[in-house]
């Protein structure tokens, strides 16, 4: 945590040194006097004088070197090993609704499996009329679909149950990503195998060294699950399960088995480690709730946020993300004064089912302290709860499924912190 504290403070001070913090009085450009002294205007820069790299130099494109700070980050003390660990999507550096493939957070239980696609096989066995084995090429001959969906780890915001501990929306909310998947509806493969009448569940198993597995109710498997091989048009990244992962729209990320090697159709849940010991919700009364599959409606303001302070007075843009595992986002409310006044945010871009949705509030800032929150409503009428409302039911010993309202304190110098309103 000390590390990211330093990072955000360093970023802020660097911006202050560059003279941009609180310098401008609006979103509009400097006056004529400032312009005359600005070498960026009066002198021809190198990039206008010399030829640039040719086309052959970058066969696979990368972001500008000036964007090198836009990376997934981890929190070292959170996990004991690098292979069973997690890093976080830099939400505060992104816009729109699609997460660039190279910035999708990663969560692995046994490191990244490196699978040769020619050796890859997917088996369907169990309560089926015929057991089947598919290669990648077999999968590509089934009718395929394209869907944009968020994947959120159930442990996202898990450190927030006991109060604010991580200073950055990358760290509090960055276990979510949103990409376009291309793949075969799981129902086509199950129909091909012929599901027996006593079947109720499908156990999905990964080919990584953790062999991670989860039980999916058959109804969900036949409804909207996808056996996906592409993300954002290209083949899945190794981190995201190359060459094949299961997409389980709206449901907790743990069920989206990566490096998918086997689907066993069963009459009862497998009661695997990840659905008994892990990914269960320890309630206030000490009992444990299992099978909390759906990720409830949630939102977060990505800018400003602790790693993305406000830099100028005057016209500003607040930006954020909202999503619901139960449908689409219908509305997002934003408060700048800790919940006394709420205004409706402006949603812009596609509003898709079980997908991240982008919202904005265009506002004027005169250096007043602000307590910023967002509150999302989904298409079922559900409204995102406060953290205290959740704690009343779930206590504070839980880790998973925290979809509570997040608060950022913006100080008069623009610095922003993760806080809670008592």
Ligand X SMILES: Nc1nc2c(c(=O)[nH]1)N[C@H]1C(S)=C(S)[C@@H](COP(=O)(O)O)O[C@H]1N2
**What residue ranges bind ligand X (CB under 6 A)?**
104-109, 151, 153, 177, 206, 208, 210, 212, 239-240, 253-254, 256-259
User: Shortest gap between Cβ of 328 and ligand X (angstroms)?
Assistant: 22
| Alpha-carbon gap, residue 67 to 87, rounded angstroms | 18
Phi–psi pair at 182, nearest 5 degrees: -120, 130
The interface partner of residue 257, options being Mo ion, ligand X, none and the CB cut-off 5 to 8 Å by kind, is ligand X
User: Shortest gap between Cβ of 156 and Mo ion (angstroms)?
Assistant: 8
Q: Which is nearer to Mo ion, 253 or 306 (CB)?
A: 253
Q: 3-state class of 396 per DSSP? A: coil
- State the residue number with the nearest CB to Mo ion: 153
The interface partner of residue 387, options being ligand X, Mo ion, none and the CB cut-off 5 to 8 Å by kind, is none
b vs e for 248-272, b when ≥16 Cβ sit within 10 Å of the residue's Cβ?
A: bbbbbbbbbbbbbbbbbbbeebbeb
Contact set for Mo ion, span 144-183 (CB under 5 A):
153
Classify the phi-psi angles of 365: left when phi > 0, otherwise alpha if psi is within -120 to 50, otherwise beta. Answer: beta
The interface partner of residue 151, options being Mo ion, ligand X, none and the CB cut-off 5 to 8 Å by kind, is ligand X
Cβ contact 199:269 at 8 Å? no
Cα-based distances in Å from 52 to 60, 68, 171: 17, 20, 37
The interface partner of residue 115, options being Mo ion, ligand X, none and the CB cut-off 5 to 8 Å by kind, is none
Find the helix or strand (DSSP H, E) in which 49 lies. Answer: helix 46-49
Q: Which is nearer to ligand X, 75 or 409 (CB)?
A: 75
253 binds Mo ion (CB under 5 A): yes
Q: Is the peptide bond before 178 cis (omega within 30 degrees of 0)?
A: no
User: Shortest gap between Cβ of 194 and ligand X (angstroms)?
Assistant: 26
User: Shortest gap between Cβ of 58 and ligand X (angstroms)?
Assistant: 26
Q: Which is nearer to ligand X, 214 or 358 (CB)?
A: 214
Would you give the distance in Å from CA 45 to the centre of its chain?
A: 38
Q: Which is nearer to ligand X, 249 or 253 (CB)?
A: 253
Exactly one of 87, 170, 178, 254 binds Mo ion (CB under 5 A); that residue is 254
Listed in order, strand segments (DSSP E) in 224-342 are 226-231, 234-235, 245-247, 260-266, 281-282, 288-289, 298-303, 314-323, 329-335
Cβ contact 159:4 at 8 Å? no
Q: Which is nearer to Mo ion, 190 or 247 (CB)?
A: 247
Q: Which is nearer to Mo ion, 153 or 390 (CB)?
A: 153
User: Shortest gap between Cβ of 65 and ligand X (angstroms)?
Assistant: 26
CB contact set of 147 (below 8 Å; sequence gap of 6+): 180, 181, 226, 247, 249
HSE, side-chain direction, 13 A CA sphere, residue 278: 15
Q: Which is nearer to Mo ion, 75 or 409 (CB)?
A: 75
232 secondary structure, DSSP code:
T
Q: Which is nearer to Mo ion, 272 or 370 (CB)?
A: 272
Q: Which is nearer to ligand X, 151 or 203 (CB)?
A: 151
Q: Is the peptide bond before 330 cis (omega within 30 degrees of 0)?
A: no
User: Shortest gap between Cβ of 89 and ligand X (angstroms)?
Assistant: 8
Q: Which stretch binds Mo ion (CB under 5 A): 36-44, 103-111, 346-354, 400-408?
A: 103-111
User: Shortest gap between Cβ of 74 and ligand X (angstroms)?
Assistant: 12
User: Shortest gap between Cβ of 353 and ligand X (angstroms)?
Assistant: 20
User: Shortest gap between Cβ of 418 and ligand X (angstroms)?
Assistant: 22
| Alpha-carbon gap, residue 29 to 161, rounded angstroms | 43
Interface residues toward Mo ion, by CB under 5 A? 107, 153, 253-254
């Amino acid at each position: 945590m000390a590390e990211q504290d330093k990072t955000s403070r360093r970023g802020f001070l660097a911006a202050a040194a560059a003279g941009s913090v609180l310098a401008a009085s609006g979103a509009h450009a400097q006056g004529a006097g400032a312009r005359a002294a600005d070498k960026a205007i009066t002198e021809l820069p190198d990039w206008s004088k010399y030829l640039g790299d040719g086309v052959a130099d970058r066969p696979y494109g990368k972001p500008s070197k000036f964007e090198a700070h836009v990376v997934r980050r981890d929190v070292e003390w959170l996990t004991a090993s690098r292979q069973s660990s997690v890093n976080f999507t830099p939400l505060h550096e992104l816009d729109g609704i699609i997460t660039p493939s190279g910035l999708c957070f990663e969560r692995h239980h046994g490191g990244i499996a490196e699978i040769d696609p020619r050796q890859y096989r997917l088996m369907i066995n169990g309560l089926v009329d015929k057991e089947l084995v598919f290669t990648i090429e077999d999968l590509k001959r089934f009718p395929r679909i394209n869907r944009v969906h968020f994947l959120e780890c159930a442990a996202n915001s898990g450190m927030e149950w006991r109060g604010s501990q991580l200073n950055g929306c990358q760290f509090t909310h960055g276990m979510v990503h949103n990409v376009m998947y291309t793949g075969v509806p799981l129902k086509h493969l199950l129909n091909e195998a012929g599901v027996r009448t006593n079947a109720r569940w499908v156990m999905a198993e990964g080919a990584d060294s953790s062999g991670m597995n989860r039980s999916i109710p058959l109804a969900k498997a036949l409804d909207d699950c996808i056996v996906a091989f592409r993300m954002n048009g290209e083949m899945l990244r190794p981190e995201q399960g190359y060459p094949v992962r299961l997409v389980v729209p709206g449901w907790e990320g743990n069920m989206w088995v990566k490096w998918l090697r086997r689907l066993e159709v069963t009459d009862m849940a497998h009661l695997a480690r990840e659905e008994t010991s892990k990914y269960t919700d320890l309630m206030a009364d000490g009992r444990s709730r299992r099978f909390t599959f759906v990720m409830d409606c949630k939102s977060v303001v990505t800018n400003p946020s602790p790693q993305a302070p406000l830099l100028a007075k005057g016209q500003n843009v607040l930006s954020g993300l909202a999503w619901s595992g139960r449908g689409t986002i219908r509305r997002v409310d934003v408060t700048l004064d800790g919940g006394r006044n709420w205004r409706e945010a402006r949603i812009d871009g596609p509003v898709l089912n079980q997908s991240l949705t982008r919202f904005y509030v265009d506002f004027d800032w005169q250096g007043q302290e602000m307590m910023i929150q967002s509150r999302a409503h989904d298409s079922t009428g559900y409204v995102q709860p406060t953290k205290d409302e959740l704690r009343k039911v779930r206590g504070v010993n839980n880790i998973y499924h925290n979809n509570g309202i997040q608060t950022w304190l913006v100080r008069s110098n623009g610095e922003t912190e993760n806080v809670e309103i008592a």
